[in-house]
Amino acid sequence: MMRLVAALLLGSFFLPMSLHPTALHAVQTVQEDSLPVVTLEETIRRATNLDPSYVAALGRMDSAGWARRAAIMAFVVPSVEASTSFTRSSSEFFNLGTAELTDRLVQGQLQASLNLFDGGQKYFELGRTRAELDASAAGERQALYQTALDAESDYYDVLAAKELSVVARERVRRAREQLGVARARVVSGAAVQTDSLQLLLELDRARVDQLVQETQLRVARFQLARRVGSPGAVDAAPLTFETAPELPLTEQEAVEEALTGGPDYRLAIAEERSAQKSLDQTRTQYLPSIDLFAGLQTFDDQFFPTATTRSQYGFQISLPIWNGAQREIQITQARVERDVARTRREDVEREVRRDVVQSYAAYNTARATAQIAAEAVGVARENLRVQDSRYRGGATTILDLVTAQVDLADAEAALVQARYATRLALAGLEAVLGRRLFPDRVEP
């Protein structure tokens, strides 16, 4: 039994240099120092320029702006079209421009038209484009804060993984120190061989946890690189942590704000209004339409045609009577879309209430958890110190010492997770509200 214990202990201390944790840590430190570092502000700024959802939201805003301008110009600016054509025939024919027989005809035409009355379609189109513009603005705001939330999440993942890697390395270091103490006690006869085996098992578990945390850190760095548009891994600049402040508004105030200025609800309201305007616009197809028109035509046998010029102007009144039930089908479709938009708006209202309550509670819970976790770290650290002293003096068992080591590692990991959970919960609440709650927060 003694030989088995000795072999296990020697194997744990005299690893090949290529696998020794100290050597691995030295190599990783060199690699970390060579990585580019980005700040949180830079991460959010670069992410907004690269996120496809936000770029698409900006494009929708641009399209909605042009649709709005076109709807306004339709009241006063006529439609104008210019065209020209050249015709050559295999036999001569009478040319209207030259009043002669020729095998060529060059024609130019300029036409303009202005709608005077269309049953109110232009009026409803103006309202629809206004709603579409509001919807695109709300969608842009929604995409902006969602992109900022995703960027912060990736940024915090890197920082949390770095701190958890430190916690794992400290766990390995403590396990090695205790294994040395246990080995000395076993050799001196003050402890049984199972003490060394228990600590060796803890060391192996600590090594596995360290490998897992370092892998997660590497993946998190590449995810952050994807977010900021870097071809290789990037590191996150550290943040200073202070006690998380109380939220500057109550839960009910947050709900009311989200239902008035929140991007999700504004988007749903604008889409419902747009669907209603589309339905009103479709119904105008039953009314007559009055248009003014004017045209200018020129004829010749060469460019530019100037031989003969003719002009015409007038007005046109049209009344749709029956078009194979196409109007009825379009009205039914528009009514369905309006009802769907209304149902979606009502569902978004309930969803926003849920999201605000969830984010509000998540922040307060994570904030309280971080405070408790900080106290737990102090308690666990003192407990480990006491258990270590008692074990060295032979007043406690190895199981109590190992439990104290694991409790300290768990408490340190819980503190790291709670601190970043607090920041992420705040970003989630701000995404629902569409604004920053504290002046020191980075604006997207």
- SS3 per residue for the chain: CHHHHHHHHHHHHCCCCCCCHHHHHHHHHHHHHCCCEECHHHHHHHHHHHCHHHHHHHHHHHHHHHHHHHHHHCCCCCEEEEEEEEEEEEEEEEECCCCEEEEEEEEEEEEEEEEEECCCHHHHHHHHHHHHHHHHHHHHHHHHHHHHHHHHHHHHHHHHHHHHHHHHHHHHHHHHHHHHHHHHHHHHCCCCHHHHHHHHHHHHHHHHHHHHHHHHHHHHHHHHHHHHCCCCCCEECCCCCCCCCCCCCCHHHHHHHHCCCCHHHHHHHHHHHHHHHHHHHHHHHHCCEEEEEEEEEEEECCCCCCCEEEEEEEEEEECCCCCCCHHHHHHHHHHHHHHHHHHHHHHHHHHHHHHHHHHHHHHHHHHHHHHHHHHHHHHHHHHHHHHHHHHHCCCCCHHHHHHHHHHHHHHHHHHHHHHHHHHHHHHHHHHHHCCCCCCCCCCC
44: Cβ contacts below 8 Å, ≥ 6 apart: 147, 148, 151, 152, 442, 444
pLDDT band at 6 (very low <50, low <70, confident <90, very high): very low
Region 389-417 average pLDDT: 88
Of the ranges 5-14, 16-25, 45-54, 238-247, which is most confident?
45-54
State the Cα–Cα distance between residues 362 and 345, nearest whole angstrom.
Answer: 25
Region 76-83 average pLDDT: 93
Residue 303's pLDDT is 86
Residue 192's pLDDT is 60
Q: Contact, 5 vs 186, CB < 8 A?
A: yes
Of the candidate ranges 175-179, 332-336, 405-409, 424-428, the one whose mean pLDDT is the lowest = 175-179
Residue 32's pLDDT is 61
Asked if pLDDT for residue 2 goes beyond 50, the answer is no
Residue 16's pLDDT is 36
Residue 398's pLDDT is 80
State the Cα–Cα distance between residues 185 and 199, nearest whole angstrom.
Answer: 12
Region 48-62 average pLDDT: 94
To the nearest whole number, what is the mean pLDDT of the chain? 88
Residue type, 252: Q
Phi–psi pair at 82, nearest 5 degrees: -120, 140
Q: What is the number of other CB atoms lying within 10 angstroms of the CB of residue 9?
A: 20
Tell me which of 112 and 15 has the higher pLDDT.
112
Asked if pLDDT for residue 62 goes beyond 50, the answer is yes
pLDDT band at 185 (very low <50, low <70, confident <90, very high): low
Percent of the chain at pLDDT > 90 equals 71
Tell me which of 33 and 247 has the higher pLDDT.
247
pLDDT band at 190 (very low <50, low <70, confident <90, very high): low
Residue 394's pLDDT is 78
Residue 7's pLDDT is 40
pLDDT in tens, 326-377: 999 999 999 999 999 999 999 999 999 999 999 999 999 999 999 999 999 9
Residue type, 104: R
Residue 417's pLDDT is 95
Region 162-176 average pLDDT: 94
Region 409-423 average pLDDT: 95
pLDDT band at 186 (very low <50, low <70, confident <90, very high): low
Asked if pLDDT for residue 325 goes beyond 50, the answer is yes
Tokens representing residue 281 in the block: 């616009």
